[in-house]
Structure 1
Amino acid sequence: MLVHFVTDEPAKIPAVRAMLEPRFHVVPQLLGGNDTAIGPSHVLMVDADLRKSVCVEQIRLVFRELNCIVEKLFIVRNQVRSMVAQAHALGATAVVSRPREVIVKLAQIELAKRASQADGVAGASPEVTDSAAAFASMFSAVRHGKAINLSDAEYATSQVVNSIAQNGLTAWLDNVRRYHEGTFQHCLLVTGVAVSFALDTGFAGPDVARLGLAATLHDIGKARIALSILDKPGRLDPAEEETMRRHPVIGYELLRDIARVSPEILDGVRHHHEYLDGSGYPDGLKAPEISDLVRRVAWTENWRTHWSRRSGTWLCGREGSQFVSRPD
């Protein structure tokens, strides 16, 4: 179960992870920081000083962004009356004071969630939730200056492969769109499209995993881009566009010193915005310089032009991924 932990003190994060993981997957968000909310988690857990008005306002902003999460668990040590009242005013569904109570309450929520799924209540698929959690873990690591755990990317990719192999691409797209938005939605969609294309065109298992991993990691550089740019609703101005165009190189630099990241994957991350005519970025590569894997990752970026939702099939065959032109 995914727990989105919101706090005003970075020092609280390791203790919460030690207490809850691996049973629960903890995604931390520091109030006032630049963390990306992954939405929706199963539980929002808050441990902050509710006597400070700035913390209260920042919590309201987080809740506004993640308003679809029903369970809101607040930790108020010593049950300070004013803080308990403030927690309920913010929409707390439970207020606890001791670590043991946190674990018990989360276990109760987990049991209720499983029961609702058994009764057929709609919700995000486990594969979508787990993949989103892995993406969140990677983005959080980058934003906090820590090394990326490649196991997160490999796990996310395996979950996408399993889901699409069992249920198909249309179900994946519907689930991701219903429960996620923004950068995480884009990453989940592109990875799903890459995996589906590989499966549907008969790639061998290792090749499916390789293309899926490249798609999973292709936008990791965006974790270093300000949210004001990533989430801007309108058109980016020239300076913002220039900043955004740096994300392939940023991603490449984040991954190049990780031993298990192959040169092929690094190539996909750095060059997924290159075009055959040399008009892409960051290196202005032309057709002979663009590898097959790069072409396929770039192709999935413009996947909407290649997929028929009505028929659930690709509008072009295996050769379609060999052509990378500017999207219309």
Structure 2
Amino acid sequence: MRVCYLTDEPSKIPAIRAMLEPHHLVVPRLLGDKASFGSDGVLMVDADLRVMARVEQIKVTLSELRAVTEKLFVVQKHLHHMVAQAYALGATSIVRSNREIGPKLAQIEAAAKASAAPEANSGTARPEIVDCARAFATMFSAINHDQSIDLSDAERATARVIAGIERDGLGAWLDDVRRYHEGTFQHCMLVTGIAVGFAIEIGFTDFDIKRLGMAATLHDIGKARIPLSILDKPGRLDPKENEIMRQHPAIGHELLKALPDISQEILDGVRHHHEYLDGTGYPDGLSAGKISDLVRLLTISDIFAALIESRPYRPPMPRQDAYKILSDMDGKLETPLVKAFRNVALVA
């Protein structure tokens, strides 16, 4: 397979060639070079995204390579905060170390061969997932740069989720998201997909599907202000870290409340998606009478998504096991809604 390797350091090229050749054809190019890559193969970007001049050079190269569907970015673990920048630039996949490059290319190559075979389904990330991840990255990046988010990004992401689920079903959406994304973006896309699937299952109008979908898309926007050492910790949070993490609903509400076109219902979902009917949730300890129907639906979707996520340190929980946990949360979640969620959890 042809690997178009774009880098900012000439010294990286020999190591990449030694690692990938002769199985792959490595075509190197330094940022700023005028030589053309061509339009086939995989584009692999390995550059310091902290330097804005290099980011601008990458944008120029990407504008010349719109026909390349697979864009693999190398974001080393110590630069994890640049993942959002990579997705904003158009990454379809991220690797965190050179050791991950070979297996990821093998996955891409196998998917390409499968998609070329008769009656085979493509194994590459669908456009809806790529566009949705890019929208999340743009919103998180804006917050990290102390800028207001553009609600049109959330609307675009929500519309892409709805379109994908209406065409291919919730199960395909969940599988694809878990295959191609991880961490906070994976969780956000899972929650939005599950919430949209839930709304469709119980017969919501198009307007209400979009309304719940928008609340789900924005529900964890406050995590953009939570330290990555906490967000991506591979294990249980300690009490101090958990206290910081529990601030994200209030942070999200604060970030969004001044936007001119934001609805109170969406703000309610962002602030209160961790509230429980028995008053033991956070941040406001609301009890049943003060928790809206939208929040009740969103909370169920959020918990289920967290349980079935794919994480580096554990596999996804089987959907039937995740649904049993929801069913055992009587008193915290609305039982009729949990029962209505059964087909979404086990069948969709």
Contact 2:274 2:283 in 1 (8 A): yes
Q: In structure 2, give the amino acid aligned to 1:136.
A: A
Unaligned runs of 5+ in 1: 45-59, 72-112, 324-328
Supply the RMSD in Å over aligned alpha carbons: 4.1
- Is 1:9 equivalent to 2:68 in the alignment? no
Q: In structure 2, give the amino acid aligned to 1:271.
A: H
Shift of 1:10: 2.5
Q: In structure 1, give the amino acid aligned to 2:131.
A: D
Q: Residue in 2 aligned with 1:292?
A: 293
The residue correspondences of 1:155-194 to structure 2 (distance < 5 A) are: 155-194=156-195
Q: Residue in 2 aligned with 1:77?
A: none
Q: In structure 1, give the amino acid aligned to 2:198.
A: F
Distance 1:2 1:159 in 2: 24
Distance 2:158 2:101 in 1: 25
Contact 1:34 1:143 in 2 (8 A): no
Call closer, same or farther: CA 1:2–1:43 in 2, change over 3 Å.
Answer: farther
- Is 1:41 equivalent to 2:91 in the alignment? yes
Q: In structure 1, give the amino acid aligned to 2:337.
A: G
Deviation string, structure 1 residues 277-323 (Cα, Å, up to 9, x no partner) = 1111111111111111111111111226899958xx99999941699
The residue correspondences of 1:109-120 to structure 2 (distance < 5 A) are: 117=115, 120=120
Q: Residue in 2 aligned with 1:78?
A: none
Shift of 1:178: 1.2
Unaligned runs of 5+ in 2: 1-41, 309-316, 328-333, 341-348
Deviation string, structure 1 residues 201-233 (Cα, Å, up to 9, x no partner) = 110001000000100110011111111101111
- Is 1:204 equivalent to 2:205 in the alignment? yes
Shift of 1:199: 0.7
Q: In structure 2, give the amino acid aligned to 1:172.
A: W
Contact 1:35 1:140 in 2 (8 A): no
Shift of 1:144: 2.1
Call closer, same or farther: CA 1:272–1:225 in 2, change over 3 Å.
Answer: same
Q: TM-score, normalised by structure 2?
A: 0.64
Q: Residue in 2 aligned with 1:141?
A: 142
Call closer, same or farther: CA 1:243–1:318 in 2, change over 3 Å.
Answer: closer
Call closer, same or farther: CA 1:308–1:242 in 2, change over 3 Å.
Answer: closer
Contact 1:274 1:282 in 2 (8 A): yes
Q: Residue in 2 aligned with 1:225?
A: 226
Distance 1:206 1:8 in 2: 40
Contact 1:3 1:41 in 2 (8 A): no
Q: Relative contact order (C-alpha < 8 Å, sep 6+): which is higher? A: 1
Q: TM-score, normalised by structure 1?
A: 0.67
For residue 208 of structure 1, give the secondary structure of its aligned residue in structure 2. helix
The residue correspondences of 1:1-328 to structure 2 (distance < 5 A) are: 6-14=48-56, 16-17=58-59, 20=62, 32=79, 34-36=81-83, 41-42=91-92, 61=96, 70=105, 117=115, 120=120, 121-303=122-304, 319-320=336-337
Shift of 1:162: 0.7
Identity of aligned residues (%): 48
Q: In structure 1, give the amino acid aligned to 2:51.
A: E
